[in-house]
Amino acid sequence: MFDQRTTCIVVVGAQWGDEGKGKLVDVLAERANLVVRYQGGANAGHTVVIGESQFILRQIPSGMLHPQATCIIGNGVVLDPETLFGEVDELERRGISISGRLFVSDRAHLVLPYHKLLDAAAERSQGIGTTGRGIGPAYQDKTGRRGVRVADLRDRAVLLALLGDRVERANAALAAMGAPAEASLEQHVAMLDQFAPRLLAIAADTGLLVHRAVKARQRVLLEGAQGALLDLDHGTYPYVTSSNTTSGGAAVGAGIGPTAIDGVLGVVKAYTTRVGNGPLPSAASPEDDERLRKLGGEFGAVTGRARRCGWFDATVVRYAVRVNGLTGLAVTKLDVLDTFAEIPVCTGYEVDGAPCDEFPAEVSRLDRVRPIYETMPGWQAPTTEVRRLAELPGAARAYLDRIEALADTPVRYVSVGTRRDQIIEV
Ligand code: IMP
Ligand code: MG
């Protein structure tokens, strides 16, 4: 995607997350100067496979695996220090140095242990099926103007006063929710005393770093987490995450203006999956659900939960194209469909007997969607070793052409396996 006129690119998920953004970012990061995470937190699980090694990154940008790339955790991210430094230590153990290459925004909000207690307590009544990482409560505290930011670590007296107040508030909220657990102030102080020096060593006005890179026409990759249908505004509310996963969130969460962005790559699976609760209109039959899950290894990278599987849903992807302004698509996991004799594609919806062209706002309406399917012939041949579009079986090319036509957006990449080299650049 990078070329002379396209130097600042956003990569977003165009379904319900787990589309394979980590792999696409890894591939694009080979030529990037800067890779920036801009929203979400340790709820994300970006899996990258290099040789025999598998890396699952939750908090650190996937670009970290490329030694020339500088990585940034932007102001829009909610930062879990324990997860972050667990990953840093693990990467260093495996020979990948982060020294001088990783920066965190001093405006980013921290995810603290009490956020996880609040997440668990809210789940008991709301049943969203969250990852339990404290993401929702951390963003609630941010919008409620009672968060703790990286910058607050600079003055220990200020921090101690803040923590005293925050832990007390959290405990009041927990008690009101009838939660059995209580947060401990001592534990919070000890944890931040442990991590503050390491965090402050990499804290910066990261918006300025991104701005300078954009100005200098360096290659900047903005790495989204989750997917469009989990976006707080555009997703299947209330079964969504608590941030703007769509490309607009990239400007806010990286600290730059929208005019800096030159292109938006939407990553879609060749089928559809969803983890956590909420509607999935193109859900497959129990047998196909099982088969897709097994072939695709569809288990959550963060929670290990089984992902629900369904067919490619053009209404979802058209919607994602619109709300993200996608300029290209990356179709991943095409190889998972290699053995199917026939492949259903959901081309549209009907609700209560009437056509429904646009993605509905209400979950109750989504629950009544009747997907309209057309059936494409499968190719029943392995695609995992294919590296050029022309070498794909005719039926596989026809399948990609159909996706491109339904989404009205060009397919720029096709992924045919988990390894770094298993990618077709169109
Ligand atoms: P939360 O982000 O932990 O609050 O969870 C809210 C919803 O988003 C749940 O349905 C989660 O399963 C889903 N979710 C959060 N992060 C991811 C992700 O990285 N991939 C897929 N689903 C996610
Ligand atoms: Mg994931």
The string of pLDDT tens digits covering residues 253-294 is 999 999 999 999 999 999 999 999 999 999 999 999 999 999
CB 325 less than 6 A from any atom of ligand 1: no
Determine the Cα angle at 369 with ends 365 and 371, to 5°: 160
Q: Tell me: the pLDDT tens digits for 336-389? A: 999 999 999 999 999 999 999 999 999 999 999 999 999 999 999 999 999 999
Integer Cα distance of 228 and 226 in angstroms: 7
Residue 51's pLDDT is what? 83
CATH of 109-200, one of 1.10.300.10, 1.10.357.10, 1.10.10.1100, 1.20.1740.10: 1.10.300.10
Compute CA distances 362 → 282, 367, 414, 425, whole Å.
Answer: 16, 9, 32, 37
294 and 37 Cβ atoms separated by less than 8 Å = no
Q: For residue 238, is the peptide bond before it cis, meaning its omega torsion is within 30 degrees of 0?
A: yes
- The backbone torsions φ and ψ at residue 243, rounded to the nearest 5 degrees and listed phi first, read -135, 170
DSSP state of 285: P
Among 16, 57, 131, name the best residue to mutate to test ligand 1's pocket (greatest count of ligand atoms within 8 A of Cβ): 131
Distance 44 CA to ligand 2 centre (A): 5
Q: Tell me: the pLDDT tens digits for 70-109? A: 999 999 999 999 999 999 999 999 999 999 999 999 999 9
> What average pLDDT score do residues 194-217 get?
98
Residue 279's pLDDT is what? 98
User: Among the options 26, 46, 141, 188, which is catalytic?
Assistant: 46
Distance 160 CA to ligand 2 centre (A): 35
pLDDT at 213 over 90: yes
Judged by DSSP in three states, 306 sits in strand
Residue 396's pLDDT is what? 98
CB 44 less than 6 A from any atom of ligand 1: yes
Residue 252's pLDDT is what? 98
The CATH homologous superfamily for domain 269-425 is: Adenylosuccinate Synthetase, subunit A, domain 3 (3.90.170.10)
Integer Cα distance of 119 and 174 in angstroms: 10
Query: pLDDT-derived band of residue 55, with 50, 70 and 90 as boundaries?
Result: confident
β-bridge pairing 102-105 and 70-73: parallel
Query: pLDDT-derived band of residue 301, with 50, 70 and 90 as boundaries?
Result: confident
Residue 47's pLDDT is what? 86
β-bridge pairing 263-269 and 328-332: parallel
Q: Delimit the domains of the chain by residue range.
A: 8-106+202-265, 109-200, 269-425
Distance 108 CA to ligand 1 centre (A): 20
**What is the H or E stretch that residue 57 is in?**
strand 53-57
Q: What is the mean pLDDT of the chain?
A: 96
Integer Cα distance of 256 and 309 in angstroms: 36
> What average pLDDT score do residues 23-39 get?
96
In the residue annotation, 46 being an active-site residue is answered as yes
> What average pLDDT score do residues 184-202 get?
98
* Better-predicted residue by pLDDT, 344 or 302: 344
pTM given for the model: 0.97
Distance 186 CA to ligand 1 centre (A): 30
Residue 53's pLDDT is what? 86
Ligand 1 atom index nearest CA of 277: 10
The fold of the 8-106+202-265 domain, in CATH, is: Adenylosuccinate Synthetase; Chain A, domain 1 (3.40.440)
Please name the residue whose Cα sits nearest to atom 16 of ligand 1: 43
Determine the Cα angle at 31 with ends 243 and 298, to 5°: 50
Integer Cα distance of 32 and 28 in angstroms: 7
